[in-house]
Copies of this chain bind each other. A is one copy, B any other.
Amino acid sequence: MHPFDRALDLRTIDTGLVRGATEPQWANMVGPFGGITAAALLRAVETHPDRIGDPLALTVNYAAPIADGEFDITLRAARTNRSNQHWIAELRQGDEVKTTATALFGLHRDTWTDIEALLPKSAAPEDIPRGNFFEGVVWANRYDMRFTEGAIPEDGVLSDSSITTLWVRDELERPLDFAALAAISDIFYPRVFLRRGGYVPAGTISLTTYFHADKAQIDAVGSDFVLGSAHANAFSRGYFDQSAHLWSRDGALLTSTHQLVYFKD
């Protein structure tokens, strides 16, 4: 089984209760990669028998580090409408809440469409060497990342801009799906590293992703690279936010994603 699917291998214990386990290949410096936790929560909803429609919005709040081992996800549809559904989920280990989430699923219908966000200009991924990531960050090895702007900063080299743009795909070329998109939406290392020229203590505390793509658009991407670009808005008294977009190679906006990050500096 692919390491992504192993991390999302959830067993139904009861109605609204599934059990999973951390997967060592997705380890971050403390606990698992936030993106894999977001993906597991999304997958828990996706595979619930009452679920209708596709993921539209996902908010994941990282309340405490997840320890290595098993975790339980409780989830329920707080409201089911004709065309959409509002979910609430919590991830626990023992009695401790480690993560909370809300998810909005819904049906798509044909409407006027337009993309206003600007696709970043960049060379083709085939023309860019595979990049390095911070040492000891195991999950980063699950991805083939090719930075066109704002790669991992050299120690002490401060940048005026917090923008990182990169091509990214699954290292083993697993085809994209909603859960994989949820994970990749958290792939951008904390923008404060770029601004401050290296590692400072930092961690995502809340992550929201909007899914613009439907299943057909995601299937069309297959195992190709997607282009991601992230930037920060403001750093203020212990917290900053960063926003990002993920694009298909042919210019479809797949997700818009935002997060609030704590930092010490």
Footprint of B on A, CB under 8 Å?
Answer: 56-57, 59, 61, 63-64, 78-79, 81, 83-84, 86, 88, 90, 96-98, 100-102, 104, 106-117, 161-162, 195-196, 205-206, 208, 210, 212-214, 231-239, 241, 243, 245, 253, 256, 258, 260, 262-265
Contacts and interface: CB of A to CB of B under 8 A. Distances in A.
A161 to B, nearest CB: 8
A241 B260 contact: no
B114 A235 contact: yes
Nearest to A253: B234
Contacts of A81: 63-64
A233 B205 contact: no
Given A59-B208, A86-B97, A106-B262, A114 B256 contact: no
B162 A116 contact: yes
Closest 3 A-B residue pairs measured CB to CB?
A63-B79, A108-B237, A234-B253
A34 to B, nearest CB: 14
B112 A196 contact: yes
A7 B214 CA distance: 38
| Copies of this chain assembled into the complex | 2
A59 to B, nearest CB: 4
A264 B59 contact: no
A140 to B, nearest CB: 24
A81 B110 CA distance: 45
A78 B92 CA distance: 10
A192 to B, nearest CB: 8
Given A78-B63, A79-B97, A81-B64, A113 B262 contact: no
A161 B116 CA distance: 8
A260 B57 contact: yes
Contact of A59 (B59, B117, B231): B59
A205 to B, nearest CB: 6
A256 B241 contact: yes
Nearest to A264: B111
Contacts of A115: 233-236
Nearest to A59: B59
Nearest to A63: B79
